[in-house]
Chain A
């Protein structure tokens, strides 16, 4: 699985959009981009995933660049409850898929009032 690089920490004002970047320059054609987050003392929580098109769900939007070498997770209106560590993970789908998630250091997002 390709490696990802994220900034170690970011701040965001409550009510503003939080834009979390991720670099995955060695991503291969059959690897998807996943985002999970871990709120303090809880288990990780799935947010969103995508291959090459932009994706949106009730939690967030995922913007993937055309060359797929980087992506941005957007929380449109951050709240204090969005304070967490956000992990960007790339993972293969298909017959070789074991579901294995390789977590990096992630980005600690601090939402401030």
Chain B
């Protein structure tokens, strides 16, 4: 069974469109994350939700809106897509209960290409 899954794996779209990426984890974790890896391979945290509550919100344009309908899902909606949004987006999850959260499990990534 896949621990952290993302859909779609590839997404090609035009500038100005709105798109969503979905993430699901079946590990029973209480915390989920979105990371962005750009063309230079830098991997940066964008958002994190703990028990459906936003706990990390890095300096990200407000065109990006995460939504966590429950602890097992964290979706990322992007409005008015721009060329610079082209990247690989990784979802991850961990358990922060007890102040630990040693290991984050990452999904396979969604490669977004904006034309």
- Label chain A's interface by main secondary structure: loop
Whether A46 lies near B103 (C-beta < 8 A) is: yes
List which A10-55 residues lie within 8 A (CB) of chain B: 34, 36, 38, 41-46, 49
- Label chain B's interface by main secondary structure: strand
**What is the interface size of chain A, counting residues whose CB is below 8 A from a CB of the partner?**
23
Contacts of B50 in A (CB 8 A): 98-99
A43 → B minimal CB distance (Å):
3
Range, interface on chain B: 20 to 34
Q: A98-B55, A98-B56 are in contact. Are A103 and B106 (CB under 8 A)?
A: no
Cα separation A107 to B105 with both chains bound (whole Å): 20
Q: Which of A36, A38, A41, A99 contacts B33 (CB 8 A)?
A: A99
Whether B96 lies near A99 (C-beta < 8 A) is: yes
Whether A99 lies near B101 (C-beta < 8 A) is: yes
Q: List 16 A-B contacts (CB under 8 A).
A: A43-B4, A43-B106, A44-B43, A44-B90, A45-B106, A46-B103, A46-B104, A46-B105, A93-B99, A98-B96, A99-B96, A99-B101, A99-B104, A100-B48, A101-B45, A101-B104
